[in-house]
Chain A
């Protein structure tokens, strides 16, 4: 297999000559040794004293079946996001603001509600990060917070989520709703500690009946826009606060963590008998997780105990019971650019007898143990410019499923196209995924980012 080397011998690259090596090095940009000018890394905000990024996103979606309670479009919006970030290195401080201007004729509510994010402006981030001590980071303000090891399964991540955005096909980043909080992170060889204090309860943005119909337990049927749930939210500053703690460290290949949360159920989990409003009863969660490589993949185990503090014995039918949640997951690459992940998740309701005793006659009963299997299949193709993915939730115990296929095509460095669907299947109307069956939708989006 001898090759004709002389033809292929490379000319010396500029900068390597057979001049003596003890000549002083040629400074970049001088002399003919470098034919290219030194590269100056340009970014969009280079001419400004801070970094500016953003995108314009337009997306639309509709339900595939007609729904007696709601209109056909599930999603129709034009969004402009602007993000500004500035760092002051000597102070080790970074400030960041990101906000969205949203034109959303489907819901058509433009009144500003910065806390819930509804309306024409959705302030995603407004925070400052600093390191007042060498081993301490402090982040104050509106921020996205995430921890835990699950993939779309949240046991110890009690930070607010936007379920509506997730279920109708907004970009995945919108699943996480911002928290208005102070986060302290301390780092030490023995253990690292995170402490997130939210002075006023940040609830989940739960499925909005103006867009998605869902099970109404008081009426015993699926309900839509005409039956929006009034909620009573704990909203007293400092009295209705949330504390979330994580202790974590790496031990060899293992990532270990222990978690604590004191606050409230994030989505309505109770009812006020007088007004019929949905409430957010008190909740504490204690949990732990381990994540480590296993074979050619990554395995994770996570568990949590949900202590529904307002109903410890389980016999208050208006308050959700205590619960244990556990998860086992594994992800590995099947072949280059193809990754498969799977999880098995259980929710085990405690004090089940108390729950059974309190259920009104004729109302559907939840199982004591709810089993959920998930899989995620991701495939990168065409030089990694096309990402096809399918995430599936299946609950054999509830008899329902939620499938999320999606294709994303990065057209060039600015334009991105996306199309996908949210498919809900269920034997019953009252189960977690089955209740959304009428909302099965397809959507498409185009985004220009800089």
Chain B
């Protein structure tokens, strides 16, 4: 564990640095992180907290005229054992609205390959395997796309640390292959203490803001930084989606078998918690 203290310092900065080191053993002092480390940490906080987790999610989709649609679902996540940033499995059980209630969506996310996906339609007892699709397709009709939910591979973009402020690392990302992103670039504000990306702005080729994600409120659950509310605004279409997380729990010990056909057909009530 290395400590490098630059002068002049205030007690507050030292306290924060010490706390940061306690939370992330092996960390260098904040100022000396390079962009790859920041990006990895941010990815970890955004997608890999704990070994597994559950969240009850309420997604409110606002159309351009102010009409509202609400989706409620419970999501289970399990990281395949091994390095963080590796494969994951997701189990999504929809509660509302009525037309998708009791449907189950399971994803085996594979870094460096196509995901395996299944959808269970309870009224037909049908387990449907879903073809690999464009990760930039909307998730459940919201302003979040599939890749926002499951994570974008870090080596798909070039990352640059543009600026460091009191609270944030400001990063700029450009896709290596422009066809993998419908925007020309995106900028991310990563909170320095927690490495949580709290704002992401997507720009078109002319530098206009097209889509903005903001984290509205945050809490700590079992020591993990946890988003409570986040908003994705699509400036081009005038639509907005607000996502609220509740009943969050980590390290529940969700077994791998939950993400198989058995539990597509039969919801694992034990792990879904309060339904």
Residues of A within 8 A of B (CB): 1, 3, 5, 8-10, 12-16, 18, 20-22, 25-26, 28, 33-36, 38-41, 43-44, 51, 53, 55, 87, 89, 92, 94, 129, 137, 143-147, 172-173, 175-176, 185, 187, 192, 248, 250, 253, 255, 291, 293, 296-298, 331-333, 335-337, 339, 383-385, 410, 412-414, 416, 449-450
What's the least CB distance linking B101 to chain A, in Å? 6
Docked-complex contact A43 and B72, CB < 8 angstroms? yes
What's the least CB distance linking B121 to chain A, in Å? 8
Q: 13 more A-B contacts (CB under 8 A) besides A94-B266, A144-B124, A293-B132? A: A3-B187, A9-B170, A16-B225, A18-B12, A22-B19, A26-B220, A33-B219, A34-B228, A36-B217, A43-B96, A175-B124, A333-B134, A383-B239
Query: Interface extent on B, as a size class?
Result: 35 or more
Given A8-B201, A12-B191, A15-B217, CB of A20 within 8 Å of CB of B16: yes
B178 contacts the other chain (Cβ, under 8 Å)? Answer: no
Residues of B within 8 A of A (CB): 12, 15-16, 19-20, 22-23, 56, 58, 61, 63, 67, 69-70, 72, 95-99, 101, 114, 116, 123-127, 129-134, 136-138, 140-141, 162-163, 165-168, 170, 185, 187, 189, 191, 193-194, 196, 198-199, 201, 203, 207, 214-221, 223, 225, 228-229, 239, 244-247, 257, 260-262, 266, 269-270, 274-275
Residue of A nearest to B226 (CB): A15
Contact of A41 among B16, B19, B98, B247 (CB under 8 A): B247
B140 cross-chain contacts in A, Cβ below 8 A? 384
**What's the dominant secondary structure at chain A's contact region?**
loop
What's the least CB distance linking B68 to chain A, in Å? 8
Residue of A nearest to B13 (CB): A18
Contact of B266 among A35, A129, A412 (CB under 8 A): A129
* Complex CA distance for A43 and B101, rounded to whole angstroms: 10
A333 cross-chain contacts in B, Cβ below 8 A? 131-134
What's the least CB distance linking A156 to chain B, in Å? 14
Q: How many A-B contacts are there with CB distance less than 8 Å?
A: 200
Docked-complex contact A12 and B167, CB < 8 angstroms? yes
Docked-complex contact A10 and B133, CB < 8 angstroms? no
- Name the residue in A13, A296, A298, A335 with the highest tally of chain B Cβ atoms < 10 Å from its Cβ: A13
What's the least CB distance linking A55 to chain B, in Å? 7
Docked-complex contact B15 and A41, CB < 8 angstroms? no
What's the least CB distance linking A401 to chain B, in Å? 24
Contact of A144 among B114, B123, B141, B207 (CB under 8 A): B123
* Complex CA distance for A425 and B99, rounded to whole angstroms: 32
The 5 A-B pairs of least Cβ separation, nearest first, read A15-B218, A449-B98, A25-B220, A384-B141, A173-B123
B225 cross-chain contacts in A, Cβ below 8 A? 16
* Complex CA distance for A27 and B218, rounded to whole angstroms: 11
* Complex CA distance for A383 and B241, rounded to whole angstroms: 12
Given A41-B246, A92-B270, A413-B96, CB of A13 within 8 Å of CB of B216: yes
* Complex CA distance for A99 and B114, rounded to whole angstroms: 40
* Complex CA distance for A359 and B228, rounded to whole angstroms: 72
